[in-house]
Structure 1
Amino acid sequence: MMKFVYMNFAFFLLAVFVISACGHQKKAEIAIQAKKENEKKYLSYEEPADPDSTDLSEWHAVTGLKAGFGNVDTRYTRSQPPAVDPENLSWTTYAWKGERVHTQLLLWSDAAIDNLRVEWQSLKNADGGEISSEYLKARFVRYLLTDEFAEGCGYRKPEDFKVALVADAIDEVGEMDLKAKTTRPIWVSVDVPRDVPAGSYQGKLMVYTGDQMAIEGAISVTVANAVLPSPSEWDYHLDLWQNPYAVARFHDVALWSEEHLAYMKPLLSMLADAGQKVITTSLIDKPWNGQTEDPFGAMINWTKLEDGNWEYDYTIFDKWVAFSEQCGITRQINCYSMIPWGNKFFYFDQAKNSRDSIIAEPGSEAYAAHWKPFLLDFAKHLREKNWFDKTTIAMDERPMEAMQGAINLVKSTVPEMKVSLAGAYHEEIQEAIYDLCIASGEVMPKAVMENRISQGKPTTYYTCCVEPYPNNFTFSPPAESTWQAWHAAHKGYTGYLRWAYNSWVKDPLLDSRFRSWPAGDTYMVYPEARTSIRFERMREGIQDYVKIALLRKKLENSKETTAGQHLETLNEHLRKYEISALENNAAGNMINEGKSILRKISETVY
């Protein structure tokens, strides 16, 4: 009976905790909404002037508001009329159930027009089927400053590089003014429900100026019988590193407060909706020596007690991981890093009553003395939280000898602990690494890759400031973000890593340039969970990767005589996705050809 009372009391406390937590979260969201009302720059802001807008001669042929559908491979210039047909006011597309498809609608005018907004109808087919208007979006594309690849990595002064205005951020603002002699792209997207019947669906999109409808366009979506799984089920190991510290700085809120997490929630949810598999955590302070505008702090507080033993406070780590899981990122936890730049480790010394640090090289006695107690305690804590099996000790781009020293210590201390690495390929250590991500220019032996994949080990590649292409800079051709997943399908990789999802620069809405790398290298999305052309095209590529895998499986298991021909056609096309091919062939051309092949096969096998 007493046990029953204790259990009921425990359930009561849990209910109180949940209600309290939900209440705090709701209050935080209300506070943020009030803050948004007071800080209009987060909702509507003035874009930079175009550094190259002196020639406006092409506007002499434009009279009044014009509109036309363009494509998603082009970054349209704000200060020039777009090269699209103003009579082309229909968009026709094809999609699997569960797929997101998109295009750009262009608006331009020689005279200023106030209060532009876009509305749309549900899409309907002849049999009464419907794609509700809630699955359609039309959002204004924003402009900001970018630069050029030049030498890639390395410190750069803004005045030494070409600067330009570029379209990238996709805003959620409900309406916008159109200045005279400017172009405004609108990102139009449809998320096809998984339960909608196959068929052809039609609807309308309307552009209003105030209360007056000025433009009417048509949308037609042919929905296939094939179904794309939900993002959480996508078999693509997406690993974009999250930076919660940048969010706290930009929004001027206390780190790890309810307000901070409320700002993080839509960012992480958007990332989970792209199929993200990994939670980025930092074991120590400044694992990358503060290379970003907002350095990563330690999510675990290390304290050296007066008796020489260690104490570890996991409060922030636990809060961040649990919160990220609630947002939908649940597959893996990567913990950085046992090999920081400079091998400097900070902690609080209880005897000195002050912060202290040591420098210890991997493989040394001092290094082992510092890390071994932590690894034992950390493993125990992870097991108590049921996180051990999905946690890795993560490293990136460190010398092989240092990585060997760290890996040996991990495996000798907690043999079952997983290790992840993003860096050059080293045959000597690959077997010990669970999650291995190599640079795009590296080569992994085919037998090694096949063996790793057969063991269920994530085996991916990454790009950074080294590669001029394919890449995700704000000046990169948008199709390159899609091309990366096709390259993964060709090479056999299980996914892709990029080091920065939201390591924002000082003013990420206005200027994507950074002191060390080409513009846009440090972030893919924008404050207030604004997505981007780059991010949407990346997600599109991941959808294609999943479709390729499903179609291959269908064809390999099919007894139809044409299955082999379709499979060879697909494989022959995928063989084109060598990085060197981008020297002479635009990514968009390759992707569009590939999508035609996928459609033809889909219509045959489904």
Structure 2
Amino acid sequence: MRWWFLTAISDLYLYIMNNMRFIFLCCVVLNSFLLFGQDDYNELSDSKYVDLEVWRKQKDDLCISWGDANKHYSSQNVPDVPICLKHKLKGWKGEKLNALFLIWSKLRDCNVSVEITDLHQKNGGIISKENLSVGFVRYVMTDEFVREGKTSCGFRYDKTEWDSSLVADVIDIKKDFLLRKMHVTPVWVSINVPRDITAGKYYGEIIVNLDGKEYKRLKLQTQIVDRELPVVSQWKFHLDLWQNPYAVARYYNVSVWTEKHFEVMRPIMKALAEAGQKVITASIMHKPWNGQTYDYFESMVTWKRTLDGEWTFGFDIFDKWVNFMMSLGIDKQINCYSMVPWNYSFKYFDERTNSMEYIKTKPGDKEYNDMWIAFLTQFSSHLKEKGWFSKTCIAMDERPLPIMKTVLDLIRKADKEFKVALAGLYYEEIEPELYDYCISTDQVLPKNVIEKRKKQHLVTTYYTYCADCKPNTFTFSDPAEAAWIPLYSIKLGLCGYLRWAYNSWGEDPLRDSRFRQWPAGDTYLVYPGFRSSVRFEKMIEGIQQYEKLQKLREDFKRNKHLIRKVEQCINAFNIQDLAKEGTASSDIKRVISLLNEQ
């Protein structure tokens, strides 16, 4: 009897412990889903025309073929591609190479998974499959650049007024995917070429499984040139994609600036660092852009007015953010926005009322001057104490010349050594005072100014925004345009590119890239997850070509003829020519081909 009782107690204990382990495991998995966005989701439906006759003529039920990574493919129409099971890539050691293949089904739904093999060289060399990755490209809702009677930068509250469709852009992290009948799924392939391999040709395969069984193999040949791309920390391209930590906190439902917040931001910002990002985006006052994004920017600095009317400032959050970003490798510059917010309203805590208050004041007002002199003086001391002063810019964007002149005078009164950044129009009068000057595509910097700034080691870049049809990085933009943009800076004589939104996600960013204002995709380049995008990967591709040209220039005598050919090719880039479909793609392919010459 006692034996039975003890056995029962033991079994009960094991049952409880095993179930506790199961419950704990479920909690860990659920927490992982919530934190990193690894749960599945359903795409929105597309109401676009489907050519059923082409589907009927399709001979095979299931088709697979390599495609063009510079093109968009419809989610519901048979791809207009010749069936091709072999693909060739070529690049440098240390480079990230991309390719894309397509799978489409005529009659049935099927579960698709993909395996990759090592890439082998005939003499025994190997690129391990650990350096390769594949991702199903998911479809997100997009719209169009402009519509008759409307402007591209205007509000789009009624989405039905705009032509909307699904576009392949989200590079998913799922290991398998349910392909529905009469649907297409692109698959993104990336190779991070090791630096310690021998040059030559490497051969491997992509294995496509349907419903758990091998269906077909795609051949992949990768030729590695005997040149090496510098490591990311040595890249010269000045990439400035503005980060939005507040969007991350809202999407993942975590409190801002907590450990959980930094945990979910880490893979998102690490990917940005690996793209060569140089600048930390910091908001030093409440709503510098008046809440134009779905998640507005709060102040990373605590503003307080004491009982005796003095201004004091706390920098704890600012320090946390900067230290976090620097720990990921984004450590070249800190741009602090903005002394000139869009509505001239400043939020602070007032000890006299024991509440948050707002003050409305503008540059030139005594109250404005007193407030900002106090801020800049304390901020300067704090930055110098942290060792960050030489990396920090007081930054503004798209502000008129009279306001900029007034603000610059005020900054110099507080600390004449402060660096200043401006993105906007070209103002000849204040150009010498700007360390970081970024102009829009419709502006022209005189060549002598560009050369002078180069010699002074100043940052001179350009940006695209909602008024630029092409080139751009909207979700409906040709993918090749994202690669074209960094190379165009070479033609302009500039050192980089700025885009105002890296991750200012909308309400439902994985499924719908449209927003209440501006063309779809204008507010973000990557997706929660971390899920990359075709646009972001193509931009990295373009930056790599920029860096390859810089590397060739370092050995000018050896590469003189090749450099001349590449520069002539890039100097032929023309924004007006991009209106013709395929121009960006052909431009990029020509440059890549030349840079990969032996």
TM-score range, shorter chain: over 0.9
Q: Is the 8 A contact 1:361 1:402 kept in 2?
A: no
Match of 1:133 among 129, 138, 151: 129
In 2, Cα distance between the equivalents of 1:240 and 1:39?
23
Quick one: which amino acid aligns to residue 79 of structure 1?
A: Q
Residues 465-524 of structure 1 show CA distances to partners (whole Å, capped at 9, x for unaligned) of 010000000000011111111111111110000000000011001111111100000000
CA distance in 2, matches of 1:390, 1:599: 35
Q: Does 1:557 align with 2:553?
A: no
SS of residue in 1 equivalent to 2:596: helix
Distance 1:557 1:351 in 2: 70
Structure 1 residue 232 displacement after superposition: 1.6
CA positional deviation for 1:215: 1.3
Aligned ranges for residues 288-303 of structure 1 at < 5 Å? 288-303=289-304
- Structure 1 residue 583 displacement after superposition: 3.2
Could you say which residue in structure 2 is the equivalent of 1:592? Answer: 589
1:68 to 65, 70, 91: 65
| 2:311–2:371 contact (8 Å) kept in structure 1 | no
The answer to whether the 8 A contact 1:338-1:393 is kept is yes
Please state how far the C-alpha of 1:564 moved relative to its aligned partner: 4.6
Normalised TM-score (structure 1): 0.91
Secondary structure, counterpart of 1:190 in structure 2:
strand
Write the distance in 1 (CA, Å) between the matches of 2:196 and 2:57. Answer: 47
CA distance in 2, matches of 1:581, 1:80: 28
Q: Equivalent residue for 1:25? A: none
Please list every run of at least 4 consecutive aligned residues from structure 1 whose deviation after the TM superposition is greater than 4 angstroms.
29-33, 37-42
Q: Does 1:180 align with 2:177?
A: no
Letter in 2 for 1:119: E
Q: CA deviation at 1:114?
A: 3.1
1:326 aligns with 2:323: no
Q: Which residue of 1 aligns with 2:113?
A: 117
Q: Could you say what secondary structure the match of 1:342 adopts?
A: coil
Residue 531 of structure 2 corresponds to 530
Alignment check: 8 A CA contact 1:98 1:230 kept: yes
- Scaled by the length of structure 2, the TM-score of the pair is 0.92
1:95-143 Cα distance to aligned partner (Å, 9 max, x none): 1000011111100111334331111111111221111111101100010
Q: Which residue of 2 aligns with 1:152?
A: 152
Quick one: structure 1 residues 275 and 37, their matched pair in 2 at CA, closer, same or farther if it must change by over 3 Å? closer
In 2, the alpha carbon distance for the partners of 1:540 and 1:166 equals 20
Distance 1:392 1:53 in 2: 50
Picking from 43, 49, 55, the partner of 2:45 is: 49
Q: Could you say what secondary structure the match of 2:509 adopts?
A: coil
Over residues 226-262 of structure 1, what are the superposed CA-to-partner deviations in whole Å (9 max), with x where a residue is unaligned? 1001112110000000001111111111111111111
Cα distance change, pair 356–225 in 1 and its aligned pair in 2 (3 A) = same
Question: CA offsets, 1:167-203, max 9 Å, x none?
Answer: 1110011111110110000001111011111111111
**1:33 Cα deviation from its structure 2 partner:** 4.7
Aligned residue number for residue 434 of structure 2? 433
Residue type at the aligned position of 1:287: P
2:214 maps to what in 1? 213
**Deviations 1:401-431 (Å, cap 9, x if unpaired)?**
1111111111121111111111111001111
Q: 1:319 to 1:564 in 2, by over 3 A?
A: closer
Any idea what the Cα deviations from partners look like across 1:187-222, whole Å, max 9, x if unmatched? 011110111111111111101124311111111110
> Is the partner of 2:343 in helix, strand or coil?
helix
Moved more, 359-368 or 403-412: 359-368
The amino acid that maps onto 2:177 is M
Query: Would the aligned equivalents of 2:50 and 2:77 in 1 still touch at CA under 8 Å?
Result: no
In the aligned structure 2, how far is the partner of 1:420 from the partner of 1:109? 52
Secondary structure in 2 aligned to 1:355?
Answer: strand
Distance in 2 (CA, whole Å) between partners of 1:510 and 1:570 is 39
Asked if 1 retains the 8 angstrom alpha-carbon contact of 2:37 and 2:530, the reply is no
Q: What is the match of residue 573 of structure 1?
A: 569
The DSSP-based 3-state class of the residue aligned with 1:473 is coil
- Name 2:508's counterpart in structure 1: 507
Partner residue, 1:106: 102
Deviation, 1:42, is 4.4
Matched, 1:92 2:93: no
Contact 1:362 1:406 (C-alpha < 8 Å) held by counterparts: yes
Report the alpha carbon displacement of residue 388 of structure 1 after superposing the two structures with TM.
0.9
Corresponding position of 2:6: none
What is the Cα-based RMSD across aligned positions, in Å? 1.7
**Is the 8 Å Cα contact of residues 245 and 255 (structure 1) preserved in structure 2?**
yes
Mapping 1:194-209, distance limit 5 Å: 194-209=195-210
> Are residues 333 and 126 of structure 1, via their aligned partners in 2, closer, same or farther at CA, if it must alter by over 3 Å?
same
Residue equivalent to 1:142: 138
Q: Quick one: which amino acid aligns to residue 113 of structure 2?
A: R
Q: Is the 8 A contact 1:32 1:259 kept in 2?
A: no
Counterparts in 2 of 1:93 and 1:38: CA distance versus 1, 3 Å? closer
1:376 equivalent in structure 2: 377
Q: How does 1:311-350 map to 2 (within 5 A)?
A: 311-350=312-351
Distance 1:39 1:50, change over 3 A: farther
Residue deviations 1:446-481 (CA, integer Å, cap 9, x gap): 111111111111100000001000000000001111
1:262-282 deviation digits (Å, cap 9, x = unpaired): 110001000001000001010
TM-superposed deviation, 1:37? 4.5
Query: Are positions 1:35 and 2:36 aligned together?
Result: no
Distance 2:416 2:64 in 1: 62
Letter in 1 for 2:52: L
Say yes or no: does 1:462 pair with 2:458: no
Instruction: Report the Cα offset of residue 30 of structure 1.
Output: 11
Residue 284 of structure 2 corresponds to residue 283 of structure 1: yes
User: Given residue 321 of structure 2, which amino acid in structure 1 is its aligned partner?
Assistant: W
- The 1:41/1:461 distance shift into structure 2, 3 A limit, reads closer
**1:382-413: CA deviation from partner (whole Å, max 9, x where unpaired):** 11111111011010001111111111111121
Task: Find the residue that maps to 1:127 and give its secondary structure.
Answer: coil
The answer (yes or no) to whether the contact 2:93–2:194 under 8 Å persists in 1 is yes
The answer as to 2:260 corresponding to 1:259 is yes
One-letter amino acid of the structure 2 residue matched with residue 189 of structure 1: S
Q: Does the 8 Å contact 2:36/2:529 carry over to 1?
A: no
For each residue in 1:45-100, what CA deviation from the matched residue of structure 2 results, as whole angstroms up to 9, or x when unmatched? 111111214432211133322100001111111101112223x1111110100001
Equivalent residues of 1:146, 1:164 under 8 A apart: yes
Q: What letter corresponds to residue 125 of structure 1 in structure 2?
A: Q
% same residue: 43
- Partner of 2:505, secondary structure, is coil
Q: Using the alignment, how far apart are the partners of 1:325 and 1:444 within structure 2?
A: 32
Report the AA paired with residue 153 of structure 2: C
Q: Which amino acid aligns with 1:48?
A: L
The one-letter amino acid of 2:557's match is N
Specify whether residues 243 and 162 from structure 1 end up closer, same or farther in structure 2 by C-alpha distance, changes over 3 A only.
Answer: same
Structure 1: gaps (5+ residues) = 1-28
**Helix, strand or coil: the match of 2:347?**
strand
Look up the match of 1:10: none
Q: 2:121·2:203 contact (CA, 8 Å) conserved in 1?
A: yes
- Letter of the 2:152 counterpart: G
Q: Report deviation, 1:552.
A: 2.9
Q: Larger deviation: 225-234 or 268-277? A: 225-234
CA separation in 1, counterparts of 2:175 and 2:103?
Answer: 15
Segment drifting more, 109-118 vs 318-327: 109-118
Quick one: structure 1 residues 176 and 217, their matched pair in 2 at CA, closer, same or farther if it must change by over 3 Å?
Answer: same
Whether 1:78 and 2:79 are equivalent positions in the alignment is no
Further displaced range: 245-254 or 545-554: 545-554
2:29 & 2:410 partners in 1: Cα distance?
A: 48
Q: Distance in 1 between matches of 2:493 and 2:538?
A: 20
